[in-house]
């Protein structure tokens, strides 16, 4: 499995100090509602079988996008496969925001989900999310880059030019849409949000891209995997925006389960992800545009270490009890 390194541009005194973030401290972030007896930083399944959930209908949600209806179609074949493998009805839940998706998991209304990179620690610590898979290319490589984009003729040609201008983020739980660029701008360029540049929050990467293209935002921090898919669908065109910064690679959306599903059902769901044949499906058509062709196994402890480090450098805490 690919090993991720800390993006070079985030190696600063502030971020380097975050490497002292120990497993003990990370485990302390887990809500007291959950137990982590094996120390893997995620909630264990309840020890009491009476607390296990075995719903007639599984609810699945993909991370918020500008047009959820598009992704209901993209995921339909996979959800049919999931239904066949589990013997359950499966419902696509079109979430409108990261907050709505997080709350649905925490409240027990969401059973299977794909959370955006920066939202995974919140879902793990506050919602009992158990991530186990991620999309990858055929050669098992994976991930995406954070980019800062602007529109042609904006007068912004470099990161330094953001001073006194406007930068759109997506949401405060997003890695590439908020946390990574915040750490980058602060540590490498001395630029503090709402002091040295104006901020806005678009709600999603799609909205940020469209906002820049339509000149509603002067610049935006985005996940380039989302932009590539928008280009492939002709939602935007080459030349509609310019890239002034590209980071190293981050892990992408994590797929996982509610912690309290019946363990046998949970295992069947995981097997369904890894047995799914992408060839000729809408999932392949959509995600091949950003290089993905399969699901591969991941662990939160290993693959999200860089994301936890960035969050720690930004002073993020999880007070969700």
Instruction: Report residues of the chain scoring pLDDT below 50.
Output: 1-27
Of 203, 196, 150, which is closest to residue 178 (Cα–Cα)? 203
The reported pLDDT for the residue numbered 70 is 82
User: Cβ(94)–Cβ(214) under 8 Å?
Assistant: no
Neighbours of 35 (CB within 10 A): 13
Query: What pLDDT is recorded for position 314?
Result: 81
Strands 144-150 and 166-169: unpaired
* pLDDT, tens digit, 9 for 90 and up, residues 191-219: 999 999 999 999 999 999 999 999 999 99
Q: How much is the pLDDT for 310?
A: 85
Spatial distance between the Cα atoms of 25 and 23, rounded to a whole number of angstroms: 5
Mention every residue, 6+ apart, whose C-beta is less than 8 A from residue 45: 52, 259, 260, 261, 263, 266
- DSSP bridge pairs for 145: 249
* Global confidence as pTM: 0.78
CB contact at 8 A, 310 and 180: yes
How far is residue 213's CA from residue 228's CA, in Å, rounded to a whole number? 14
Closest CA to 119 of 176, 44, 182: 176
Distances (CA, A) of 164 to 52, 139, 160, 175, 245: 53, 43, 10, 23, 18
Short-list 224, 135, 214, 134, CA closest to 177: 224
SS3 242: strand
DSSP H helices in 61-179: 68-74, 76-86, 98-106, 120-127
Question: Could you give the CA distance from residue 321 to residue 291 in angstroms, rounded to a whole number?
Answer: 38
Which of 213, 198, 279 is CA-nearest to residue 66? 213
- Interval 112-168: pLDDT, tens: 999 999 999 999 999 999 999 999 999 999 989 999 999 999 999 999 999 999 999
Given this model, what pLDDT does residue 15 score? 34
Beta bridge partners of 221: 148
Spatial separation of the C-alpha atoms in residues 311 and 88, rounded to whole Å = 37
CA separation for the pair 154, 165 (Å, rounded): 10
* DSSP output for 95-112: -SSHHHHHHHHHTT---E
- Give me the pLDDT at residue 28, please: 59
pLDDT in the model for residue 8: 38
């Amino acid at each position: 499995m690919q090993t991720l390194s800390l993006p070079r541009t985030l190696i600063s005194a502030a971020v380097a100090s975050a490497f002292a973030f120990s497993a003990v401290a990370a485990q302390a972030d887990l809500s007291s509602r959950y137990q982590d007896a094996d120390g893997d930083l995620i909630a264990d399944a309840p020890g009491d079988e009476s607390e296990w959930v075995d719903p007639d209908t599984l609810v699945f949600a993909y991370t918020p996008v500008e047009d959820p209806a598009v992704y209901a179609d993209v995921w339909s074949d996979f959800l049919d496969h999931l239904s066949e493998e589990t013997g359950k009805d499966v419902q696509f839940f079109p979430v409108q925001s990261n907050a709505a998706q997080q709350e649905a998991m925490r409240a027990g209304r969401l059973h299977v989900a794909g959370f955006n990179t920066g939202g995974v620690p919140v879902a793990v610590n506050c919602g009992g999310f158990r991530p186990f898979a991620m999309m990858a290319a055929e050669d098992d490589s994976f991930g995406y880059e954070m980019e800062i984009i602007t529109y042609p003729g904006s007068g912004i040609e470099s990161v330094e030019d953001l001073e006194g201008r406007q930068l759109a983020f997506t949401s405060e739980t997003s890695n590439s849409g908020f946390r990574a660029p915040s750490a980058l701008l602060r540590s490498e360029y001395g630029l503090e949000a709402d002091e040295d540049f104006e901020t806005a929050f678009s709600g999603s990467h799609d909205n940020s891209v469209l906002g820049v293209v339509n000149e509603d935002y002067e610049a935006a921090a985005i996940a380039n995997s989302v932009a590539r898919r928008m280009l492939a669908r002709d939602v935007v065109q080459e030349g509609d925006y310019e890239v002034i910064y590209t980071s190293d690679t981050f892990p992408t959306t994590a797929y996982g389960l509610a912690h309290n599903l019946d363990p046998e059902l949970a295992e069947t769901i995981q097997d369904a992800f890894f047995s799914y044949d992408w060839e000729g499906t809408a999932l392949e058509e959509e995600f091949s545009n950003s290089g993905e062709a399969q699901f591969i196994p991941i662990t939160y402890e290993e693959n999200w270490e860089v994301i936890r480090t960035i969050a720690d450098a930004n002073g993020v805490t999880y007070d969700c009890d």
